[in-house]
Chains A and B, each alone.
Chain A
């Protein structure tokens, strides 16, 4: 494990992706993400942020170059076994929380164990093994929602629901947490709340965090490093503290 810690979490070399031949969405990407880093991926709409997220973990096939993700190296698509091993080390959070409204908060958190062996027992918390219930409560306490464990998911506020989604990702004890616009559909204060939880968890639990955002403040305040995409290439890739306002404006204004 110690040597794994030294390795990069994700590394691409000469990576390119095109949906139609000759029309690249992403090209010449050499990206490296090291353990425990908090990375903000930014870019104007349609620059391929979501596509890149999916390619980095093998959910979409690349067109050229190689990707190493969480110990698995592949060009094009990963094998099924590789994809499964990659997924087991990742927790996902999306713009929309994607909780099952009718179920309890606790059941929604145990859903994070789906995809693991014997995971049919994760469907509702009543059936879940004691160990998973303990892990679920730990995850809920990490996002300060222990008290809401048995409430229905749709009884919570938007920000709380997104924190439950974080707990659902956290129960997997992921090495990498991927969040696609996690605060975009929340009001500003709930959005800051969610981003604070992310960056705190990443540093407390040693999770690598990779998130996209179109909010300049979120991009700068909660990351160690910003990777900016423009026209399918890396426009800049540097420590958040050294990124200026004008550099950000340049990226967001297309």
Chain B
């Protein structure tokens, strides 16, 4: 029988690689000791959670309360919808200015890339706190937060879609003397459109989810009602609100999924 030389099952691990693996493992174990829930804590917490759930049941179905929740949910939707719409409109020119090879600003386009990164890396609750401080409690602060959130998300992915747009058509139009703006409208945007619509739908989905929690810091919407319910120990109200949130997020995901399927 011919002796076969089999390929090794594993690649050789270098000394450096082994050291890094050990270090990462140690870091996880040490950190877990500091912050992970101990068995004791879990054991203590569980009855308390059960007690809380018990006090939440049954959810409040009082007509007057549900009407208030309905209007708050409507407000949440409005924050998400208006914030996303305005954010999408502002994202387009920002993405154009930030997209490498498409921007008319050359290397200064990086300034807009940095701006978009800033919008994205600061968490939405922090933006909401800033806007509540600036324009006061209520839905306007929430809408401003969603606008910034949407620009942070769409600004980046719109720019990437524009960078990936077919170069040959752009070159053909440039040869005929088309301006950068004409090339953007005629070739770059049509080519990037399917990807941008997809991104826009994701942005809307994310906006609904984040507009739900913005109320926790006073930026309008259903979150405000949830915070009041917890603060006043009205757990039956809280459970009704949580159910309502669950339903709207589910509906939103279903709708955007269907829209995406429709477009493809």
| A interface residues, Cβ below 8 angstroms from B | 59, 84, 87-88, 90-92, 94, 96-103, 107, 111-112, 114-115, 119-120, 122-124, 165, 168-169, 172
**Once the chains bind, are B191 and A100 in contact (CB under 8 Å)?**
yes
Smallest CB separation, A136 vs chain B (Å): 14
Q: Which of B183-206 contact A (CB under 8 A)?
A: 183, 185-187, 190-191, 193-194
Binds A, one of B14-22, B114-122, B164-172, B243-251: B164-172
Q: Which residues in B have their C-beta under 8 angstroms from that of A107?
A: 186
Q: Is B140 an interface residue (CB 8 A)?
A: no
**Once the chains bind, are B172 and A123 in contact (CB under 8 Å)?**
no
A96 to B172, CA, bound (A): 9
**Once the chains bind, are B194 and A114 in contact (CB under 8 Å)?**
no
Q: Which residues in B have their C-beta under 8 angstroms from that of A98?
A: 168-169, 171-173
Q: Which residues in A have their C-beta under 8 angstroms from that of B38?
A: none
Q: Contacts A122-B186, A123-B186 hold; do A96 and B168 have CB atoms under 8 A apart?
A: yes
Specify which of B176, B182, B194 is in contact with A120 (CB 8 Å cutoff).
B182
A92 to B173, CA, bound (A): 9
Smallest CB separation, A15 vs chain B (Å): 21
Smallest CB separation, B198 vs chain A (Å): 14
**Once the chains bind, are A100 and B190 in contact (CB under 8 Å)?**
yes
Q: Is B177 an interface residue (CB 8 A)?
A: yes
Smallest CB separation, A135 vs chain B (Å): 14
Specify which of A87, A90, A103 is in contact with B190 (CB 8 Å cutoff).
A103
Q: Which residues in B have their C-beta under 8 angstroms from that of A88?
A: 177
Smallest CB separation, B184 vs chain A (Å): 9
Q: A94-B168, A111-B186 are in contact. List 20 more A-B contacts (CB 8 A).
A: A59-B175, A88-B177, A90-B176, A92-B172, A92-B176, A96-B168, A97-B168, A97-B172, A99-B172, A100-B186, A100-B190, A101-B169, A102-B190, A102-B191, A102-B193, A114-B178, A114-B186, A119-B182, A124-B190, A172-B176
